[in-house]
Each structure stands twice: as C-alpha cells, then as structure tokens.
Structure 1
Amino acid sequence: MMDKKLKAVVCGAGFGQFYMEALSRMKDRIELVGLVAKGSEKSIKCAEVYEIPLFTSKDQIPEDIDIAFVILRSAMLGGAANEYTEFFFNRGVHVLQEFPIHPDDVRNNFRKARKNAVCFHVGDFYLHLPQIRKFTEYVKRLNEICPPSHIQMSLAAAVSMPALMMLRDMLPSANKMELKCVSDNETPFQVILGNIDGVPVTAEIHNEVNTDDPDSAMYLLQAFNVIYETGRLSLQDPLGDIFWYPKIKSSVSRYSSGAAAREADKDSGLKDGAVSLSFYGAQAAEKGTNEIWVQAIISDIEEMLEGITDKAAYMRYSQKTMTGTAQWESFNKLIGFPKRIDGVKASPEQKDMLIERITEFITEK
C-alpha cells in the first residue's frame, strides 16, 4: 500500500492525453499536478481540460514530484524523452517512459534508476489490452495440453517488443530464439523464420517509416495465429476478435463410394466452422475504443505502482523487461533499420472512397 498519494506530471500533450485521463481516474493514489509541454494550443487546451498548470520548461516543474510519465518520442525517433527521463531520475523521481526505447537506453535507465533509488517502467499498455490478455491466457491453457505446432505473426516493427513479450508469456520458456531474416529491405514486409523455445515461428514485419507522417505509416499492429493439431487460435488485431478455426479433416475413405460430393460431410472439421471466442465489437460498443486504451494504461500504471511498493515485484519486472529487451535487440538486428518512405500512396479523396466502399460492403451483408 502507498503511504501517501503520489504527485505526478505528464510530459507530452499528444498521446499523453490518454495518460492524463487515466491518472484523473486514480486520484485516490496519484495526484496529477501538471503537464510538461512546449506551450502549443493543444497543450494549453489539455491543461484547461484537466485543470492543471502547464509547465513549458524544466525549471518550472515543482521540486516535490514523485512520479513522471514521459510520453514523448525517444532519442531513437528524434525526440526528447531520454533527456526528460534522466532529468527526473536526477531529481529522485520514478519514471514511466513510453516505448519504443532503444535497448541501450532501457539498460541505462534501469541502471540510473537503481543509482537514484527510484523505479523505471517501460510504458507498454498493449500487453494490458483485454483481447491481448485473453488471447495470451487461451494460448497458455491450450499449451497445458500440448505445445503449438507453429506460430505465425504479422506486426509493425514499432510494436515488435510487445509482441515478443507476448510470446514470452505464451510459451513455457521463450528464452531460446533461433531466427533468421529471409527477405531483403526492398519490400514493405520483412520475413523472419526460425523457432522460439523449439516452436516453429514465421513472422512478417512491416518495417517502414513515413517521414512525412510517422504515426500513420503502420498497415497493421499485431496479428497472431497459434496453430495446434486440431486447429488454430487467431487474433487478427489487438482491437479485433479472437477466433478458433477447426482444422480441415478429410479421410481417404470418404471417396470410396464415388459420390463423395453428394454425401453428408460427416468428418470435416468445417461442419462447425470458425468459432468466435471473444467478440471485440461488443466491448467497443459498450466502452468505445478510447476507453479501452485508457483502461489498459491504468492497468500498466498499476503494475508500476506495485513495483514502487514491492521490491521483489520490481526485481521480477526489471529482469523480465531486460531479458525481453535483449531479445528485441536481436530481433531488430535481423530486420535492420526501417525503410524511410516519403509522401502518401493514396490521396485524401482515395482514402475517403475506400472507406465509403467498405461501408457499402457492410450494408450489403
């Protein structure tokens, strides 16, 4: 339990808005006392909405801050997050810094946090999204019966670390990775083959960065197919449904009559078809996607608070994160630096037309 309510600041008025909303619902444990930003119109509005002061320079930040949420781009993306993280460490402040963070910076941050007797937490709310949690739990329960035959995943390079952390949760001991890249960097997706803990893995990684609009270049976030002898468990997006697809079975004996196409399909796994195990649409309809993001962030912050009050929990977290970071570093070396692309591949008009066409498909159902 916390001995006192922690005073907090959020750095960044972009996605930091979601952290401010999360903290506004944790007032029994954390008091949001300010926003650190450059003073743009957006940041001024944020400060007004949450009724907190706006600090536009480090010397304006109060001395009695206990915890800082650094929701800025890291140095590897040309941002100032690392600079602010070190500033708060030197003040004896706990820090949550949102990923992606360069592996060297993760290691250095844990080292600096230990030196200053504070906690460092890599902000990773993806692992706390309800569909991610549920999918991981389903896989673990299936693995109690038998290991997967194969894992196939497609994801954006920017969220590859959460994907690897998911694999660490799903597999009994995902410490041994034997992977190789079998594609060049001339296509949007890099292909990785190999095995993790003896389980064959195929991964497609979207490895591009749009220099004109870095936040909108991802074609997808994460998609997983965990394949077993009787079918596959599938999650096509962190904000998507979880499906079980039975394996297609067809015995040789069924063709003996010469009229197999006219007979009842008795032994095909398709007779039941795909089964939805968790329907995201119901969650979105009830809460809205923004609400789901906020609740996942609250869960991530709660994990950090546990580490602040429980040294053993913090040691487990830091060791797990350091190991995952080392694996992520090896993974990134395989796919190389993201390919930089300029401009857009579809005009605003074409994008609107694509959405309209999809709407037509929905109404045709």
Structure 2
Amino acid sequence: MISQKKKILIVGAKFGEVYLNAFLEDHPWIAPVGLVARGSPRARRLAHAHAVPQYTSVEDVPGPIDGACVVVRSAIVGGDGTRLAETLLARGVSVLQEHPVHPDDVQRLQDAAQGNGLSYRVNPFYRHARAPRTFIRAAREVQAQTGQAPVFARFMTSRQLLYSMLDLICLALAWNPATVSVRLSGKVGPFQGLLLEAADRRADLLLQTTMDRDDPDQHSLVMHSGQLLWPSGTLTHVATFGPVVWSPTLYMTGHLDDRMCLYQDAARIGLNAPTGRVLADAAACWSDAFERDGAEGVRCALEEWLHPGTTGDGTARAATSDPAYDLALSRLWHHVMHCAGPIAYEDHEPPVRVDCGRLGRAVTETAA
C-alpha cells in the first residue's frame, strides 16, 4: 500500500521527468507523492501522466514526506535548486539534490541536515545508469583478477558533464576525490587536456572548452567516454549509454617456438580465446536511454539514498555512501573547473543528423 511506502517529492519538471520515469513501473517501497514545478504545460502533462498532484511551491506540499529530489539547477549554474533544498531541509525533509552543487553549498546543506537529523546527498546520476555502472564494475573486476592498476587511463567529457565524469573516474580507479591533484596539459582540438593524479597513478582527461550560452545542456561533443589499459587488455566505455567493451590483449603462448602453427596449435597457444566481449550494449535509442537506463539509475540512486547498502549495484558503496565523498567530489569538480579556465561560449547550430540505418547499409554494401 502507498501508506507503507517511502513518500518522495519530485521538485523540477525538466530533468525531473527522468526521476518520475523511475516510477513507470511500481516500486515496492518508494512512491512519488507530488511534483513541484512552475506550472508549465510540461509539468501539468507529467503530473497527469503519473497521477500525482502538482504544486507550484514546496511550501504548499502537505506532509509528512520522507524525502525530496531537487532536480532544479543549483545556485552555481544559475538556478533555484540550492534555495529549494535549503527550504526543504528547514521544513524537516531530507534532500537528494541533482548535481552539480558548489562545495560551499554542499558543506552548508550537509551541516543543516546533520543538525536536524536529516539526510542531504548530491546525486551524480550517471554512476547508477547501466553502462557506466558496468564500466565501474568491470574496472574493479579486472584490477581484482590481475592485481594491477591500469597502466594508462584516458577520459573525455564536456563542461556540462564534468562533475559526473569525475565521479566515474574516481569510482573506476578506486580514488578518493579528496586526494586527486590536477594540472593542465596541452590543448587537443576543441578539448583542454588535464592530468589527474592520485595514489601514484594518473589519468588523462580531455575537457571540451566550448558551451552554448543559450542552450547549455546540449552540444557536448562527448558526454562520457573512457578507456583503461592493462597488459591484459583494454576496457572501453564508448559513450554514456554504452557500449562497454573488453578487448583482451593478443598474447600467444610459445610464440617463439618454431614448432607451433597458428591453426594446428590454436588452443595450445591461446588463439581460441575471445578477441573481445561487449559487457553492456548501447541503448537502442535515446528514448530508451532516458526512459529505461536513466529511470533504472534513479531507482538505484533512491534505494541507495533511502536504504544504504540494500541495492547491491557494485559501485563502491562503502565510499559513496559517505557524505564526505559528496563534498570531496564537489571540491574536485570546482578545482578542475578553475584549472581549466573560463568557458568559451559559442553559438552552435543543430548538428547534422547521420542516418544510422543508411550508415549501416553503406558499410555492409562496401564490405560486400
């Protein structure tokens, strides 16, 4: 029954739609009890579709509420999210706030929550989605099997997604964000290179330098992409919503033995081993990415927030369930943004769409 479920308020009707999508399938112990938004046609449609009441102010929402998801831009990116989170905490409601959040605000809101026996967490979001979650698990598994850290790590992202990219880097490499140092490296095309170092290891990060002032959520050349290399093989997170691919290194046992033949001795020299494995497929379309993968990620985030340790999704919960991780990650994000220098604002045209079906046919016909 709804009365036995955790009652969650969704604040924000833009990206908040993805949070509501988490309840397209009934959750056994969490239920949305309202949507707070400014009253746009989108907000009315969403409230109606999800059969929840719509409010235009958090003060109008009747209690009790077990928690609120604040999915509105925070103060550092020009929104009211931080003020709304503060208002909800003052009312006695725990808050899960969508990233990014300025480290000073994270500290202040954490202190306010702790003083009132509440929870305040920042959600980096993408760590819970299927492909990034697979990448993190796979990176940890390869390190466990080989006993080795990657010999090379390279990541690419945009300004808009830097916060979540840093989160994925720290989780995949088992880094504490509080110990990561940052320095500039050279520029590569439209990217600023940065070198991240921790635990005597380094990672190269290419950060897109441009944004569109009027449409800041879009025009990322790369959302999230990463590659980790070991002597044993390469783990590649091609794009945010997949695929994730493991590519073993070619090594032939007895390669220098002049009695061995590639075909007759394939099993003995290791040629029957796979050349690669797709660990997570790409989402079939962008709608699936948000309605399926994104929604599943929100469910994982809510479960971890409301009952830490219950979801078992393998994303290094011992570290990430600690609010100190949120603060350290926010400080790292703020530091990297400062090191990277000012954003270069440009007007961007809509990208030319490549017809994937036509592209596939062209490749097939060329191969034939």
The verdict on how the C-alpha distance between 1:177 and 1:32 changes in structure 2, with shifts beyond 3 A counting, is closer
Alignment match, 1:333: 338
Is this contact kept in 2: 1:246–1:270, CA < 8 A?
Answer: no
Cα distance in 1 for partners of 2:233, 2:67 equals: 46
Cα distance in 2 for partners of 1:158, 1:55 equals: 29
Cα distance in 2 for partners of 1:63, 1:270 equals: 64
Cα distance in 1 for partners of 2:50, 2:66 equals: 19
Q: Superposition pairs for residues 19-38 of structure 1, below 5 Å? A: 19-23=19-23, 25=25, 27-38=27-38
Instruction: Identify unmatched segments of 5+ residues in structure 1.
Output: 257-262
Letter in 2 for 1:137: R
Alignment match, 1:321: 326
Letter in 1 for 2:149: P
- 1:288 matched to 2:282? The reply is no
Instruction: Identify unmatched segments of 5+ residues in structure 2.
Output: 311-316
Give the TM-score normalised by the residue count of structure 1: 0.82
Is this contact kept in 1: 2:219–2:348, CA < 8 A?
Answer: no
Alignment match, 1:61: 61
Matched position secondary structure for 1:48: helix
The verdict on how the C-alpha distance between 1:91 and 1:314 changes in structure 2, with shifts beyond 3 A counting, is farther
Alignment match, 1:211: 213
Cα distance in 2 for partners of 1:223, 1:119 equals: 31
Cα offset for 1:36? Answer: 0.8
Cα offset for 1:12? Answer: 1.2
The verdict on how the C-alpha distance between 1:26 and 1:122 changes in structure 2, with shifts beyond 3 A counting, is farther
Alignment match, 1:132: 132
Is this contact kept in 1: 2:100–2:330, CA < 8 A?
Answer: no
Is this contact kept in 1: 2:12–2:71, CA < 8 A?
Answer: yes
Alignment match, 2:278: 277
Give the TM-score normalised by the residue count of structure 2: 0.81
Alignment match, 1:259: none
- 1:305 matched to 2:306? The reply is yes
Alignment match, 2:182: 179
Cα offset for 1:232? Answer: 1.5
Cα offset for 1:272? Answer: 7.1
Alignment match, 1:244: 246
| 160, 164, 167: which one aligns with 1:165 | 167
Cα offset for 1:279? Answer: 4.1
Note the alpha carbon deviations across 1:183-220, whole angstroms, 9 max, x for none: 46x96311012533212321101132211212212111
Percent identical across equivalent pairs? 23
Alignment match, 1:152: 154
Deviates more, 1:170-179 or 1:7-16: 170-179
Note the alpha carbon deviations across 1:118-160, whole angstroms, 9 max, x for none: 1012123211112222221221122122121111111122222
Cα offset for 1:270? Answer: 9.8
Cα offset for 1:41? Answer: 1.1
Cα offset for 1:94? Answer: 0.8
Deviates more, 1:83-92 or 1:205-214: 205-214
Cα distance in 2 for partners of 1:32, 1:243 equals: 36
- 1:118 matched to 2:118? The reply is yes
Cα offset for 1:226? Answer: 0.6
The verdict on how the C-alpha distance between 1:187 and 1:79 changes in structure 2, with shifts beyond 3 A counting, is farther
Alignment match, 1:87: 87
Cα distance in 2 for partners of 1:49, 1:123 equals: 25
Matched position secondary structure for 2:358: helix
Letter in 2 for 1:42: R
Letter in 1 for 2:279: S
Deviates more, 1:320-329 or 1:69-78: 320-329
Is this contact kept in 2: 1:125–1:299, CA < 8 A?
Answer: no
Larger helix proportion of the pair: 1
Note the alpha carbon deviations across 1:305-336, whole angstroms, 9 max, x for none: 01599xx9899421222222232232222213
Letter in 1 for 2:360: I
The verdict on how the C-alpha distance between 1:270 and 1:109 changes in structure 2, with shifts beyond 3 A counting, is farther
| 353, 360, 363: which one aligns with 1:362 | 360
Cα offset for 1:4? Answer: 4.8
The verdict on how the C-alpha distance between 1:269 and 1:226 changes in structure 2, with shifts beyond 3 A counting, is farther
Letter in 2 for 1:331: V
Note the alpha carbon deviations across 1:38-66, whole angstroms, 9 max, x for none: 11111111111112221123442224333
Matched position secondary structure for 2:222: coil
Is this contact kept in 2: 1:100–1:158, CA < 8 A?
Answer: no
Cα distance in 2 for partners of 1:294, 1:315 equals: 20
RMSD: 3.5
The verdict on how the C-alpha distance between 1:169 and 1:57 changes in structure 2, with shifts beyond 3 A counting, is closer
Is this contact kept in 1: 2:225–2:240, CA < 8 A?
Answer: yes
Alignment match, 1:223: 225
Cα offset for 1:271? Answer: 9.6
Note the alpha carbon deviations across 1:169-192, whole angstroms, 9 max, x for none: 2334545333311246x9631101
